[in-house]
Structure 1
C-alpha cells in the first residue's frame, strides 16, 4: 500500500503478548525496518534493544543469553545492559564505552507489550494508556475478564496496510454493513481529538425500539496515537478490545487483536469455557479477516468523496494523524 506519509511513525506500538516473552529468554523482532532483540531479564522486566551486536554484528536475538538484567551476544559473549551500554567483554577488564545499542522504551500491561518508537530516538513524550483503565464512566474490575491471550487474541503478520488506514475504519460507519455483514448501520454520536488521542462514541440503533435515538449498544473508542485503538462495549455486549498495527518496514505492518471478555457469573477461571470461546470467535474475532480482505488490495485515496455523516470525523482523524509524522515519507530512488 502506497501512502503519502511515512511508515516511521512516532508513538506507542504493540509488539506482542506477555506470554511470548518468557523469563530469561531472548526474542528477535523486526519493526520500523530495524532488527531488534527483546528479552525478559531475571527480575521479570522486558527490554527492547538494537538487535545486532556492536562488536561484529551478530544478531543477539538468535541464540543470545540473558544474564541478570543484561543480554549476552551468542558470537563472542559481549554483554549489553538495559540502557544499551556495554557491560562486559570476555577476557578483558575493560568495557567499550564508545559503543551503545539503541534502547526502545517498553510498556507491559494487561497481558500486552508495547514499545515506544521515534524515528530519531527521542524518548516518550506521553504515556501509553491503560487498556482497562480507560473510560472511567464504565467501572471495571480487571479480574472480571477472561485472559485475552491466547484464546481471544489474533495476529496477522506482514500485511500491506499502514496504521493510519487501520484507524480510519473508526469513523467509517458505512462499511460495517458490507464488510462485517451488520444488519444495522452504526452512528457516530460524538468525537474529540486531543494532542495524543482521538476518541469517539458510536451507537448501534435498537431495531426493537420505535425511538430512532435508542441504542442497543454503545462503543467507546480511544486511539492512542496511530499505534491502535482501545474500545469498550456497553449494552448488548460489554467487552473490551484492542486493535493495533505496528509497521514492520515501509510496506507492511503486523496487526494485533485482543479481546477482554466478561467472565460468566460464578466463574473464577481465567481460561474461557468452550461455549464462550466459540461465540467470541464467530461474532468478533473474525472481523480482522473481514477488514484484511479489503486492505490487502486497497489503494489509498488522498481526497475521498465521503458521505455527509462521515466527512467531519473522518477528516478530523486524518488531520490529527499528521502530528505523529516527525519525518517525511520515503521517496523512491
Structure 2
C-alpha cells in the first residue's frame, strides 16, 4: 500500500505479549524500520534497545545474554545497561562512558507490550491509556476475564497495511454489513477527539424494538494515536479487545488482536471451554481475516469521493492523524 505519509509515525505501538519475553532471554525485533533487542532483566523489567553493539555492530538479540538488568554482546562481551550506556568491557579496566544505544520506552499492560516511538528519540509526550480503566463503567478487574494470550490472541505479520488504515475503519460504520456480514446496518452514534486519542461509539439497532434509538449492541472504541484501538462491547456479551497495528518497515506492518472474554461463573481456567473457544474463533477472532481481505489489496485514495454520512467523521479523522507524522515520507 502506497501512502502519502511516513511509515514511522510517533506514538505507542504494540510489539507483542508479555509471555513472549521471558526473564533472562534477549530477543531480536524489527519495528519502525529499526533493528531492536528486547530483554527482560532479572528484576522482571522489560527493556528495548537499539540492537547493534556500538563496538563492532553485533546484534545483541542474536546470541546476546542477559546479565542482571543488562544485556551482554555475544561478540566481545561488552555489557549495555537499560539506560543504553556501556557498563562493562571485560578486557578493559573501565567502560566507554560515551558509548550509548538508543532506548525505546516500554509499557506493559495486562499482558500486552507497547513501545514508544518518536523519530528523533524524544521521550513520550503522552502516556499509553489504561486498557481497563479507559472504560470504568464496565468490569475493570482483569481476573473477571480469561487472559487473552495465547488462546484469544492473533498476530498477522508483515501485512501491507499502514496503521492509519485500521483507524479509518472506526469512522466507517457501513463496512460492518459488507465486510463482517452484520445482519443490521450499524450506526455511528458519536465521535470525538482529544489531543492524542479518538473516541468512536457505534450501535447495532435492536430489531426487536420499535424504538429507533434502542441498540442491541454498542461498541466503544478509543484510538490511541495511530497505534491501535481499545474497545469495550456492551451487549449480550460484555467483552473487551485491543487491535493494534505496528509498522515493521516501509510497506508493511504486524497486526495484533486480543480479546478479554468474561469468565464463566466459577471457572478458574486460563482458557475458555472448547465450545466457547470455537464460538469466539468463528464470530470474533475471524474478523481480522475479514478486514485483511480488503486491506491487502486496497489502494489509498488521498482525495476520496465520499457519501454524505461518511465524509465528516472520515475526513476529521484524517486531519487529526496528521499530528503523528513528524517526518516526511522517505526521510
Please indicate the TM-score interval, normalised by the length of the shorter structure.
Answer: over 0.9
Equivalent in the alignment of 1:124 = 124
Alignment of 1:1-333 (within 5 A): 1-330=1-330
How many Å separate the matches in 2 of 1:153 and 1:246? 16
How many Å separate the matches in 2 of 1:235 and 1:263? 16
Residue by residue over 1:91-125, the C-alpha shift from the partner in whole angstroms, topping out at 9 and shown as x without a partner, is: 21111112110000000010000000000101001
> Following TM superposition, by how much is the alpha carbon of 1:139 offset from its aligned partner in structure 2, in angstroms?
3.8
Q: SS at 1:195's partner residue? A: coil
TM-score (norm 1): 0.98
TM-score (norm 2): 0.98
Contact 1:145 1:270 in 2 (8 A): no
How many Å separate the matches in 1 of 2:160 and 2:235? 34
> Following TM superposition, by how much is the alpha carbon of 1:132 offset from its aligned partner in structure 2, in angstroms?
1.2
Q: SS at 1:261's partner residue? A: strand
Which 5+ residue runs of structure 2 have no aligned equivalent?
Answer: none
Contact 1:146 1:261 in 2 (8 A): yes
Q: SS at 1:283's partner residue? A: helix
How many Å separate the matches in 2 of 1:39 and 1:107? 13
Cα RMSD (Å): 0.9
> Following TM superposition, by how much is the alpha carbon of 1:270 offset from its aligned partner in structure 2, in angstroms?
2.7
> Following TM superposition, by how much is the alpha carbon of 1:264 offset from its aligned partner in structure 2, in angstroms?
0.6
> Following TM superposition, by how much is the alpha carbon of 1:271 offset from its aligned partner in structure 2, in angstroms?
2.1
How many Å separate the matches in 2 of 1:328 and 1:28? 27
